[in-house]
Homo-oligomer: A and B are copies of this chain.
Amino acid sequence: MDSLRYARCEARSRIFKALGHPTRLFMVEELAKGERCVCELTALVGADTSTVSKHLSVLRVAGIVQDEKRGLQVYYRLRIPCVLSLFGCIETVLETNAKDQMALLHQA
């Protein structure tokens, strides 16, 4: 793998990596419904504010969300709506996995 190709893969994989945590994926789903401030997300997630803030930072650095400070709150929203379209395929993978599990059971 030459270095250009590697760089490309690394850039892409960073996006996937950012989505590769349950809490972050949850927040992306919530943000799909509309913008939320950190305190709202903190309440929804049920973790320390600092933890939520760091997860949001990961999503922001990846370019998945953007933030805007208004008054005391910082509001986050999806920067690229198409992120949601990713979930369709993911669901297909999960369904196929489940079917295979079923098949294995019936086979036994």
Contacts A1-B26, A16-B16, A86-B89 supplied; 16 other A-B pairs, CB < 8 Å: A5-B26, A9-B23, A12-B90, A12-B91, A12-B94, A13-B25, A14-B20, A16-B20, A16-B25, A16-B86, A16-B90, A19-B20, A63-B96, A63-B100, A80-B93, A82-B89
The binding surface of chain A is classed by DSSP as helix
Count this chain's copies in the assembly. Answer: 2
Whether B20 contacts A17 by the Cβ 8 Å rule is yes
Give the interface size class of chain A.
35 or more
| A15 part of interface (Cβ distance < 8 Å) | yes
Residues of chain A in range 38-63 having any CB-CB distance to chain B below 8 Å: 44-46, 62-63
